[in-house]
Chain A
Amino acid sequence: MKNNKTVKAKKVLAQQANNYGVISFERKRNVEGLIFVIPWIIGFIWFVLVPLVLSVRISFFKTTLADLYGGSFIGFNNYMEVIKNPQYGEVIVNSFLNSLYQVPVVVGFSLFVAVLLKQKFPGRTIFRVIFFIPVILAGVIMTYLFQQDVGSVSVFSSLLSEATDNNMLAMIFGGGLSSQIGSIMWKSSVEILIFLAALQSVPDILYEVVELDGATAWESFWHITLPYISPFVILNAVYALVDSFVDSSNPVMGLMNSLTNGSNGEAYYGMASALSWMYMLMALITILVFVLLTRRWLK
């Protein structure tokens, strides 16, 4: 039996040697690509997968803070409890609907600003800095700004509403969206910089050619710029989706916090973990569907 196998293997090897040039080249490329990505795979297993498995484990146990990795095995009970509770379903659906209208606004706005900031004009550096301020101020500074209480209104939110109320955007959009447009714009700094980098790498020569042919700026945007940076529209949409899913202002994140910090009388780590896993899976599927649907547009 064993002998038989080695003979087979030898045959296969011989065949591959015969086909040298076709299979071997592709194989070589495959191995090459794997070598480039091997560090990442090792890192993924070491720093992501191992801690992740532990976190999945928690979701199948009745865990308390006292012994996080102990507790009794209860199978899918945590998951069932999340599914049965209508409140959770509602919150998850709401957060998905939120992302549904936030993402196009973020991507559209950031593309618009990036196109403006790509132009050469005096004071460009200042404007580039200004539109990056949300990233620079992130972290502890941001929480301090949010804490600024004067009476009952936080200074930061009043700044936002003040800014949007007197803003032409509010005049255009009006109503519900305008109350949120400030915070949505505030979130698009990362996307602006990604678009800016993408725009910078469009070869200048293409613009020169279409300008000679008499194209207006508007036409060259639709026929040169947009097709050229379309992968980055996808990338930014994916990032905006992720951002809206894991944002701390997201209702699901708030729900998870309330489950773990014990404000409901007890800390339900198992349930929080189960909820986060189901939520993450749904988010992943949403993003993959989006990527698959837009793949055709890329080519």
Chain B
Amino acid sequence: MSKAINFFKGLAAKYQNLGFKAKKKIKFVIGRIALYYVLIELAFLFVLPFVYMLSTSCMSSDDYLDPTIQYIPSAIQWSNFTKAWEALNYPSAFFQTMFTSLASAVLQTVFCALAGYALGRYKTKWRNILFVLTILVLLIPPQTTILSAYGMFVKMKMINTVLPIVLPCLFGLGLRGALFVMIYMYFFQRIPDAMDDAARIDGAGPARVFFQIMLPLVRSAMIITFIFSFVWHWNDNNETTTYMYHSSVMTLQPRLQNISQYYSELLGLQDSVTAQDKALTEPMLFAGCMLVMIPVLIVYVIGQKKLVAGIERMGVIE
């Protein structure tokens, strides 16, 4: 015991004698080790369901039933993916989903910024009322209003088009639009007043101040709004099944929901209840899940790359 204590005392003494640079380097290395340790420890929880999905999607039905095989399949079963591709009607559903999500994401990124700008930078009486309304919109689950909204869109002959999903985005609402308005509000609020005062004195109008001065200052907000909006619209099943149920316009998520039924009919199964039946369809099901999630993953990876420090100067340098 005392030997160990002496050893550490010796280490501490050595550390004290080191130069400034060496000390900094040691600190850096220890910090890195701690960082990776904590991150890997936490990431474990997040990555497991994904690993489960990935490994199941590559399994043959024999592997799926084999209790000795947990995560690593004996061979990659590519046919799972080709079958899922056909079942999802992938190319057409992909473009339908892509169009819906992209249009909604772009519209929400721009039009939620308008509302957030008004809430964040114009300190007037109606501001507080609008803020309460924003929270209210955020609180109302879409299921509460979807029934009467559906009736409204039927009257406007918009069913089985993208309009019921995209049109609210044009007004800064849409899927969780209220959250984006709030994100923008807090980002705009933090910009010093001097920024737009200066621009106004130089003769810039309100539109110009907004587009040329303010929007570039909240690039981080724009990036995360776009990412969230895209991913949530891509993964949305509630709105798309209500408004776009015809097979010609169906998006990926509802198709994914019907996929196990498709397989059961294809394989001539009754109801996939037994473990045997499940083993036949489950790997293909998760292959379908992989196909659906990969585009979102790519969009996220590209999007978060843009999220780097120092893109907003915030008037500190000037």
Contact = CB atoms under 8 A, between A and B. Distances in A.
Interface string A114-129: 0011110100010111
Contacts of A200: 220, 307-312
B261 to A, nearest CB: 13
Interface string B289-315: 100110011001100110111111110
A131 to B, nearest CB: 6
Interface string A9-49: 00000000000000000000110111111011111101110
A40 B173 contact: yes
A33 B121 contact: yes
A255 interface: no
A117 to B, nearest CB: 8
A246 to B, nearest CB: 5
Main secondary structure of the interface of B (DSSP, over half): helix
Contacts of B293: 136-137, 141
B173 A47 contact: yes
Given A30-B122, A125-B305, A144-B285, A36 B152 contact: no
A83 interface: no
Interface of B: 32, 35-36, 38-39, 41-50, 52-53, 111, 114-115, 117-119, 121-122, 124, 126-127, 130, 132-133, 135-141, 144-149, 152, 167-168, 170-173, 179, 181-183, 186-187, 189-190, 206, 210, 218, 220-221, 223-224, 227-228, 231-232, 235-237, 253-254, 256-257, 285-286, 289, 292-293, 296-297, 300-301, 304-305, 307-314, 316-317
A284 B117 contact: no
Contacts of B304: 125, 128-129, 132, 193, 196
Contact of A39 (B47, B171, B179, B182): B171
Contacts of B220: 197-198, 200-201
A17 B27 CA distance: 67
Nearest to B240: A139
B306 to A, nearest CB: 10
Main secondary structure of the interface of A (DSSP, over half): helix
A80 interface: no
A184 to B, nearest CB: 11
B145 A205 contact: no
B226 to A, nearest CB: 11
Given A200-B308, A231-B190, A283 B139 contact: yes
10 contacts: A29-B124, A33-B118, A36-B117, A48-B173, A135-B232, A159-B49, A193-B228, A194-B183, A201-B187, A201-B312
B145 A32 contact: no
Contacts, number: 250
B49 A204 contact: no
Contact of A34 (B118, B139, B236): B118
Which of under 10, 10 to 19, 20 to 34, or 35 or more describes the interface residues of A?
Answer: 35 or more
B128 to A, nearest CB: 10
A40 to B, nearest CB: 4
A193 to B, nearest CB: 6
Given A283-B139, A287-B135, A33 B309 contact: no
A100 interface: no
Contacts of A235: 182-183, 186
Given A117-B39, A133-B49, 17 more contacts: A29-B122, A35-B206, A54-B148, A113-B42, A132-B304, A136-B293, A136-B300, A139-B236, A140-B289, A163-B44, A186-B46, A197-B221, A200-B309, A200-B310, A201-B314, A231-B190, A238-B135
B223 A185 contact: no
B236 A155 contact: no
A167 interface: yes
B187 to A, nearest CB: 7
B178 to A, nearest CB: 9
Interface string A239-253: 100100110000001
